[in-house]
Structures are given as structure tokens and as C-alpha cells.
Structure 1
């Protein structure tokens, strides 16, 4: 997976393992060719590589699709430590809660609705 890491970062093996480990990719997975990874592992690799790049905004579409519960938790934990902004679409309310977003837009049936105002700020469409 080393060739998937942004070349300009010159990550050491320890640093690379650390980032991949945050997303639940460890041991022999670090040396495995990315083309041989499962769909969920490819998702984790892509998210890890986004976080180590020179990005300050992540746009994610259903980042937890096809992931097992422990993988969803690992991704939520890793993304919650990221300093940049994240805009994402998700049907996974537990994932949304774990990220503790500052703003949420809920659109059931295409209409803006309220979603647990005790912990979420809602955005209007105006």
C-alpha cells in the first residue's frame, strides 16, 4: 500500500502503519497490493490516504457503506480527530452521532426536518 500514499509526504513505515491502523488496516494488510483488498478495505485505504494528504476539506458519500460495525467505529474515531472540515452524506445515524458534527441537514423524503436538536445544530435551506 506504500505506493498509494502521497509521495510528497515521504512517510516512514511506522507513520504509514499508524495511519492505516487508525482505519483498522494492520499487520500483513500494509504490504498487500491494494487491488487484492476487499471493498471495505479499499474504502478504509482511500479514507486513510485522504487524511494524510494536503486536504482541508473532505467530501464523503456514504463512507460507512458495506463496512462492519468495528470498521465503522474505527473510521468515525479516525475522522473525529481530523482537523479539517468534513461534508458527508450518510444514512448511518450512529456514525453521524460519533462525529459530533456542528451542523446537520436532515432531509427525510426530500424535506428539511429536525433531528435530535439536543446535540445538533440544524441548517436551513434559505
Structure 2
């Protein structure tokens, strides 16, 4: 009789250890998902050779390109998710790309052309 009671206690202990392992794993997953997984921005923007390139992470509407005085240079009515658009800027400087409340600032400079080396 005493051995059966001891076995029952061992089974209950193993069950409690298993339940606590499941709880710890779910807490670790929750912490990982809330603190370490960042949401992707709706758009990424960079400037290359005086052209602003916009990559849409999700479908965007009314995307505006602004100069350093917040004047609208160009508006894209719609950019589908996963696609890109570009706009050639008139001069060097700082430009902003705005989609709803999200704004990205880029700095555009003219590419420097290196003269070919002169050989004797």
C-alpha cells in the first residue's frame, strides 16, 4: 500500500513539472513575440544617384515626397504591397517621404564621378 501512495505522488510531481514547463515555454514565447519581434515599417526609402526609391511593405495610398520646406514635389496615389516606385529629385538636399502618419527622411547627393587614373 505504501508503494502505491509513493508512485501516485511521483506521478503527480511529474505532471506538475510538465505543466510548469508548458507555462514557462508559453511565457518565453510571449516575451519573445512582444519585445523582440519588431513590426516591419510600412515603407523603406533611400536615395541613390539623385533618385528616391520607395519600397512598400504594405499597400500605401497618397504617398507624398516633400522637400525641406514641406512643399509637395510629387504624390503617388497608390503603391501596391511589395512594389517599388522612384522619383528623380531636382537637386541635392534633404527630402521626406510621407505615407499617412509615417514619415522617412532621406539625404540625396550627386554621385561623385572619379576621373580615370592617368598613366605615364
Q: TM-score, normalised by structure 1?
A: 0.21
The structure that has the greater radius of gyration is: 2
- Which of the pair is proportionally richer in strand? 2
